[in-house]
Copies of this chain bind each other. A is one copy, B any other.
């Protein structure tokens, strides 16, 4: 179930997206001095490979064409992105979205699963790019391979909750900025690991940028206008694929905002739809019975003369994949523009990504 949630982050709770800024820590420049470079190579300057694996990089034409090492400066060349958890649905969708956005896909990846001691577990073709997928035990090797491709790659993690902490530690020790799309795991520990590192990351359980914008709008309305809907009634219906056993976390987060607006509502009043008849009533397209997140919130006056209705209906995983890629572009832009290491230990969320404006 956890792995499934990771692969299908539909309606995962996004409370973290609204975490107060106090949880974000911007570690001041440590005793260790960094070479003052304007390019993103700053992030990588302290990296010493723990493996001296002799990688056959030349197998990959797009890597042969890439300038390597420090000389790979910020010349406007598309950034490199490594997608871990590529064998999952969410990882694959995100890798495709990255290519669509013009990013270059690192042809190495690792998963949360164990594999053989030697060689990749499998090779996956992503729109013509062949990616070698390594097992969990060879993730350090995979990271080294990635860094030989580009020392400024950004990682996307769509693995499994059990791997979240270990992976984050690896990215931090390797000095690789990352976007954590995998849900679950010890989120506080995850934050601390980045805060204590020299890298920056985007950590968000809900990567659907537009859904996060909607949630934030409801929360801002609640904060600004408490009790504006006092006396009104609320009805919430959420429909998801039948494999989703728990109630929608996104619905819970939005309901929390509505309660601040003056609406009385108990979470057990949510109508959760998990079967075909309900899908039809909610107008879920048949092709998406197994991958959708439909939400309807209906707010009405006591006498029913006034009604507000808010819907956010998602089919498939594209919105999450695109939001993840926007988070990557956000990180690349931020790193590009930093001047004095102010991003060390910084954790961003999707609200930060949204505030930055349109990414492409």
Binding site for B on A (CB under 8 A): 208-210, 213-214, 216-218, 220-221, 224-230, 232, 261-262, 288, 299, 301, 303, 305-316, 318-319, 354-355, 357-358
Contacts and interface: CB of A to CB of B under 8 A. Distances in A.
A313 B307 contact: yes
Contacts of A316: 305
Given A217-B218, A218-B217, A228-B209, A309 B311 contact: yes
Contact of A227 (B224, B307, B314, B358): B358
Given A306-B313, A308-B311, A213 B221 contact: yes
B315 A306 contact: yes
6 closest A-B pairs by beta carbon, nearest first, are A227-B358, A217-B221, A309-B311, A225-B354, A305-B315, A213-B228
A357 B307 CA distance: 20
A225 to B, nearest CB: 4
Nearest to A305: B315
Contacts of A313: 306-309
Contacts of A225: 213, 216, 354-355, 357
Contacts of A308: 210, 214, 310-313
B314 A358 contact: no
Nearest to A315: B305
Nearest to A209: B228
Given A214-B308, A308-B312, 10 more contacts: A210-B306, A216-B224, A226-B358, A305-B314, A305-B315, A305-B318, A305-B319, A306-B319, A307-B313, A310-B310
Contacts of A227: 357-358
